[in-house]
Amino acid sequence: MKVRSLLVALCLAPLALAAQDSVIPLLKSLTAAPGPSGFEEPVAKIMVAQMRPLAQSLRFDGLGSVIAQQGTSGPRVMVDAHMDELGGMIRRIRPDGYMSMQMLGGWLDQALPGQRWVIIGSHGPVPAVTTIWDVHITPPAERGRVIPREAIFLDVGARNAADVARLGIAKGDPVAPDSPFEVLANGRYVAKAWDDRIGCAVMIEMMKRLAAAASHPNQIYYAATVQEEIGERGATTSAEIIKPDIGFALEVGIAGDVPGTDRENAQERLGGGPGLFLWDPSELPNRKLVAFVEQVAKEAGIPFQLDMVQGYGDDSSVIQKSNGGVPTLNIVIPTRYTHAHNGMIDRADFDHTVDLMVALMQKLDGPTVAKLRRFGE
């Protein structure tokens, strides 16, 4: 009985810790919300409910991005995180009731078969699975082949197209991954949609901390943007409204601490602190801003990692090109298994990212931003 009691206690320990931690419910609600590109309303409702009590003002751009403001004087600082996740739309409903998907965002074909999904139809959410061939009937020569997305279909248990219609599903309905939030060992969390609900959560925790602080010398515009995964669209329209003097994108980083990965293509590891992107194909950061962030992190004793990732793009690329040119930096939370159903983060990286962003907002001021924006000196 003692052994059994010990096992039960060990299993319940993460749940007990979660019950005492207000961040856990926030992360759970944000990652659980379905929000593929163009269908971010469930996420936006959470963000508005969290941000409105902490902001001097709150508004939207014409695409649905949420813009909350703290502070009414000083440099205009844009802090960005996108609400959308990878997903799909119903493309075609076959006579036999199977459905094809138009994928939204950068999916790997090997991440698609045999997964659970939710379709947001007119009658509410409908659970679904993607097809995968049974090993017993797959020819040996085909067992190691990646199934192309064109050969993968959604199955809701329908016998025909009429069954699908009765469920309230039609062409164009959004499809989101279905994967629950879980607390794992060593402060690691697994969930879908860390890209970029983790950035959204950092923004909310920043707002809580700075709302409780005596003051900060900036106008901070928190932009929870839409449609990043299909072309950084919400960041473009939000930046047009904000007209920032300086900008930060909060994103997922790409952890290279997974067996078989090439550490030259991603150098971050879980638990190593927030990552600062020195390069990706979409953006080169302002070097003086990078040095400033490194200095603030070192002074505050916050660990950080430097990285350069190929095959990556983010909202900082369009913020950088707004308002005549803006110093920007992409600050990321290292994440394993992005763009799939089950991503993993380390809680310490999240907490350190919040600490870093709060410290940056308190250190930035008019003269500092002006210096970062001067060149040739």
Domain spans of the chain, in order of start: 19-85+192-372, 90-177
Q: With a cut of 80, say whether residue 109 has pLDDT above it.
A: yes
CATH topology of domain 90-177: Elongation Factor Tu (Ef-tu); domain 3 (2.40.30)
Same fold, 19-85+192-372 and 90-177: no
CA–CA dist 213, 222 (Å, integer): 17
Q: Per-residue pLDDT averaged across 84-90, rounded?
A: 98
Distance of CA 127 to the CA centre of its chain: 23
The per-residue pLDDT for 4 is 54
Under the banding of pLDDT at 50, 70 and 90, the label for residue 139 is confident
The residue written with tokens 């200095």 in the block is: 295
174: nearest Cα among 222, 226, 246, 237: 226
CATH topology of domain 19-85+192-372: Aminopeptidase (3.40.630)
* Category of 97 on φ-ψ map: left (φ > 0), alpha (ψ -120 to 50) or beta: left
Distance of CA 224 to the CA centre of its chain: 10
CA–CA dist 35, 193 (Å, integer): 9
Which of the residues 40, 85, 205, 228 is marked catalytic?
Answer: 228
How, if at all, do strands 188-191 and 182-183 pair? antiparallel
The per-residue pLDDT for 221 is 98
Catalytic-residue membership of 228:
yes
State pLDDT tens for residues 14-70.
555 444 689 999 999 999 999 999 999 999 999 999 999 999 999 999 999 999 999
Structure tokens given for 77:
């600082």
CA–CA dist 103, 373 (Å, integer): 40
Mean pLDDT of the chain: 93
The per-residue pLDDT for 134 is 86
Lowest mean pLDDT among 130-139, 169-178, 362-371: 130-139
